[in-house]
């Protein structure tokens, strides 16, 4: 269980998130709806100060305590939505998880047509560090395209293309294999721009047949079966943390030059 310094104060919504109960946005909605009590009294302001480790929080009359931190990887299948619920009744990643009632949130997203490695956690601060643009944590994708790709295409992806006035480029790109009329590319991104690979290739008239995320930093999807999830090994969690710290350090050096 996580222990908090008694003197530390945070907003009520953030406190619920840090305790692993739900996301900060979900917590704010609960507070505004009058479902959260602080030391027995209802509160409606998500920014109400809370002393972590001292104050008592309850949701719908049930005491909230710090949850053990959970770090999962999921091999997301194509066609599954990365959200807690869907108004159209489509299958979501939560239907694939058998971890009980602990609240987990995806660390970033994969769109409906994409597949592969998706991280989920109830550690909101860890997720925020991974998603922070300054971390520049590499994300590696294998992309099946409906053209015979060559080194010139890979080099163009690295140089970047402008789509809607925005420069989109890969950190690394190479041709994995070709055959018939199709090819597989490996593309590494260190930015978190929305649908970046799809926009880069579709702008050039290249059809994407499959898009699979195979790694996040040092964490590889490996042989995890499609639709299955597993907890990160302690060494994997440590390796990701080290990669984020190293990226942050490099960013600070660049900024101070």
Phi, psi for 193 (deg, rounded to 5): -75, 145
pLDDT tens for 76-106 read 999 998 876 667 778 888 888 865 545 788 9
Q: Write the pLDDT tens digit of every residue in 207-225.
A: 999 999 999 999 999 999 9
pLDDT at 5: 47
Domain 138-216: top CATH class: alpha beta
CATH of domain 71-134+220-256: 3.30.70.580
Tokens of 57: 């929080």
3-state secondary structure of 243: helix
- Domain covering 9-64, topology: 3.10.290
Give the span between the Cα atoms of 92 and 83, in whole angstroms: 6
pLDDT > 70 fraction of the chain, expressed in percent and rounded: 90
Phi/psi at 62 (nearest 5 deg)? -105, 125
Whether 230 has a pLDDT exceeding 90, the answer reads yes
Per domain, the residue ranges of the chain are 9-64, 71-134+220-256, 138-216
Banded model confidence at residue 21, pLDDT cuts 50, 70, 90: confident
Q: Which two tokens stand for residue 231?
A: 């907890």
Q: Which of 146, 71, 78, 158 is nearest to 110 (CA)?
A: 78
Compare 17 and 211 and report the one with higher pLDDT.
Answer: 211
Residue 37 pairs with which residues in a beta bridge?
42, 58
Q: Rounded to two decimals, what is the model's pTM?
A: 0.81
Percent of the chain residues past pLDDT 90, beyond the cut: 59
Residues annotated as part of the active site: 111
């Amino acid at each position: 269980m996580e222990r908090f310094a008694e003197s530390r104060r945070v907003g009520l919504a953030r406190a619920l998130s840090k305790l692993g109960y739900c996301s900060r946005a979900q917590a704010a909605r609960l507070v505004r709806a009058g479902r959260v009590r602080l030391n027995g009294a209802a509160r409606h302001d998500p920014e109400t100060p809370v002393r972590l480790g001292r104050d008592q929080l309850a949701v719908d009359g049930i005491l909230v305590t710090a949850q053990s931190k959970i770090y999962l990887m999921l091999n997301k299948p194509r066609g599954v939505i990365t959200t807690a619920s869907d108004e159209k009744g489509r299958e979501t990643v939560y239907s694939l998880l058998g971890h009980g009632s602990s609240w987990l949130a995806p660390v970033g997203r994969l769109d409906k047509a994409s597949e592969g490695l998706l991280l989920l956690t109830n550690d909101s601060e860890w997720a925020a560090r991974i998603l922070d643009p300054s971390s520049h944590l590499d994300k590696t994708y294998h992309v099946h395209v409906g053209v015979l790709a060559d080194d010139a295409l890979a080099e163009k992806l690295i140089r970047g293309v402008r789509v809607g006035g925005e420069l989109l480029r890969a950190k690394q790109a190479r041709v994995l294999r070709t055959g018939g009329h199709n090819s597989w590319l490996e593309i590494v991104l260190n930015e978190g721009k929305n649908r970046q690979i799809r926009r880069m290739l579709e702008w050039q008239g290249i059809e994407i047949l499959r898009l699979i995320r195979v790694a996040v930093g040092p964490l590889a999807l490996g042989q995890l079966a499609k639709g299955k999830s597993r907890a990160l090994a302690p060494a994997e969690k440590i390796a990701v943390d080290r990669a984020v710290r190293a990226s942050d350090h490099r960013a600070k050096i660049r900024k101070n030059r």
